[in-house]
Amino acid sequence: MQSLEVRPLIERALARFTKSELASALGVDVRTVMRWSAGETTPQPYVVSALESLLVPRMPANLNPEFSFIDLFAGIGGIRQGFEAAGGRCVFTSEWNKFSQKTYSVNFGNDHEFIGDIVGQKHRVPDHDVLLAGFPCQPFSIAGVSKKNSLGRPHGFNDPTQGTLFFEIKEILALKRPSAFVLENVKNLKSHDGGNTFKVIMRVLEEELGYTVESRIVDGGHFTPQHRERIVIAGFTEPTGFSLDDLVLPNRTQTMADILHKTDGSETLLPHDGEKYFDFSRRTVQAKYTLTENLWRYLQNYAAKHRAAGNGFGYGLVDSESRSRTLSARYFKDGSEILVAQDGQRPRRLTPRECARLMGFPDDFVIPVSDTQAYRQFGNSVVAPVFREVSRIMKPHILAIKEKNTVSAGAAVEVA
């Protein structure tokens, strides 16, 4: 592709991204983007493919959906993927973080209203069949509660911002009465405040709103080589016989070899990644992911200090045969890193693409943000295949209620 043909593509990309964001997404520096924009140099073919990937949503919405859903506290769309795979179509999205908005939009497009903060915005929510919400977990997570306690800050429902967001969900459920909902949070939600927090949630959903509700703690490790327990709460407007016990959770044991970059020559060059994460000529992960000598020494001392104190803080070293601990939203910040052992050299951190795979995201999922933001986004997300399975067993019940409501509405019209 000649320079004159590439420039309009770059101009379209710069209409959606800043030069810094585009450079980060393509693994180059800002000056290189400026030279491309000016027509001084022409990008490599894989960069052109990456530009096209950034401008065309990788996951087009279902054109003939079987049901509709809304995606609240959407993050980067981990729950959405499952319900689109089941035949649903998203009709409304809310996500407050601007970097997550960027990743979400690049991968799903914007064919419906997409707002930031959902607080006080229930009047903007359209009718829908299913409400999805991975509402903020920090007020209830073990790490979040510990941190807030140490700082003397409130947590759970006493958190003045995140803790009250469940009640925004309540207001939308009360107003729109969708046939079903799915909520996701950390395992600790069930035990937070001696179980009182969970009791409040269930009382609101069952007694105040009249939904029939099921909950279950599911380990994402059934689908990826990562121990990651999360609570799934699903409800319907009426009894349907639905049970989360019907989830089919694979017993196969994946290892890190399933998600790590392959150094035997079989790693696939993804046009939207290029060589940001993997050096294909040397068949190795880019050198920047290997720990510096000083950082490796610091992490070893950090882990030793906490072992001596009798707690488990510190890095977790894995190899191709291992399974990992839970990927944190603070990955590579708090000393609890998942580090990959390397023969004859210091360990390295995971690349963002490996984090995506660890969370069950497909390789065509585009990562248009910096490594720092990507680590936060995947650490905050869900193990996507879990919600493919949740949506699979919910779908027949969603459609049954939808058909029943359609028949009832038709009968009411005839009577009138």
Residues annotated as catalytic are: 137
Please state, in angstroms and rounded to a whole number, the distance separating the CA atoms of residues 161 and 354. 32
156 in Cβ contact with 139 (< 8 Å): yes
State the Cα–Cα distance between residues 352 and 331, nearest whole angstrom.
11
Q: Which is it for strands 130-133 and 67-72: parallel, antiparallel or unpaired?
A: parallel
Would you say 279 and 301 are in contact if contact means Cβ atoms under 8 Å apart?
no
- Distance of alpha carbon 54 from alpha carbon 71, whole angstroms: 22
The angle formed by the CA atoms of residues 237, 240 and 244, to the nearest 5 degrees, is 100
Neighbour count for residue 58 (Cβ, 10 Å): 15
Q: What is the DSSP letter of 66?
A: S
How far apart, in whole angstroms, are the C-alpha atoms of residue 186 and residue 279?
36
d(CA 240, CA 255): 37
Describe the crossing of helices 19-26 and 30-38 by its angle, rounded to 10 degrees: 110
Of 406, 387, 412, whose CA–CA distance to 129 is shortest?
A: 406
Report CA torsion sign: 61, 65, 67, 68: positive
Contact 238, 206 (CB under 8 A): no
Q: How many CB atoms lie within 10 A of CB 279?
A: 14
CB atoms inside a 10 Å sphere around CB 18 = 11
Looking at the DSSP assignment, which residues form a beta bridge with residue 90? 69
Contact of 102 with 376, CB cutoff 8 Å:
no
Question: What is the residue-wise DSSP string for 363-415?
Answer: TTS---S-HHHHHHHHHHS--HHHHHHHHHHHHHHHHHHHHHHHHHHHHHHHH
Angstrom distance (rounded) from CA 153 to CA 409: 49
